Amino acid sequence: MLSHRVLHVFRFFATSTSYKLGYNRPYIFISRKYISSLDTPEERERAEKWLQRFSKDKIPREMLTITFARSSGPGGQNVNKLNTKVDMRFVLDQAYWIPEYAKNKLLVQQANHVNKKGELVFTSDKTRSQLKNIEDCIDKLYAAIVNAAKVPKAPSEEQLQKIEEFKKAEHRRRKEEKQKRSAAKAQRKWRDD
């Protein structure tokens, strides 16, 4: 749920059609050690810790640009008076609080939500309330980040052994086929005795 401070900001700008949230956050969530990939076990462990600590509240609201528009759909005369549709966006390259590997996955997974300026865009006109639609957009953003930041499980020793067995079996099979083709070609050769 949005804090009292945020509700005050939204009430203040309720008459405006476009604004940028710009209040000081009590904390900024920056990972001191940069997680660029998941190649080493240390990076995987740091990424898992980051994901466990990450929550919806740690999304810096000052990085989000929120605009309002008229919603579509049923609503009677009220729908023509209020700007309840929310368009939330932020520049993905400037998202210092998201690890690099997660940003790259976000670009791929959410390609339909990234515009030419490199902004990740989410919209919501689910309800007739600006605050609920803002919450819905933040929920969508949070879900997308968590999905992109998931750390795939490392294969177990048993799985690695099976992979090695499959590789060896494939190598033997390929070698046997090669020997059969070689023998067939050798029989076709014309020998002069």
Mean pLDDT on 82-102: 87
Please give the model's pTM, rounded to 2 decimal places. Answer: 0.63
Mean pLDDT on 69-82: 74
Mean residue pLDDT across the chain: 78
Angle, helices 130-149/4-12, rounded to nearest 10 degrees: 130
72: tokens are 């579509």
State residue 173's pLDDT score.
96
State residue 134's pLDDT score.
92
Q: For residues 21 and 64, give the distance between their C-alpha atoms in angstroms, rounded to a whole number.
A: 7
CATH class held by domain 4-149: alpha beta
Q: For residues 21 and 10, give the distance between their C-alpha atoms in angstroms, rounded to a whole number.
A: 9
Domain boundaries defined on the chain: 4-149, 156-193
Per-residue pLDDT at 126 exceeds 90:
no
Contacts of 186 (CB under 8 A, 6+ apart): none
The pLDDT confidence band at residue 23, using thresholds 50, 70 and 90, is very low
Mean pLDDT on 56-70: 88
| pLDDT tens per residue across span 170-193 | 999 999 999 999 998 888 876 655
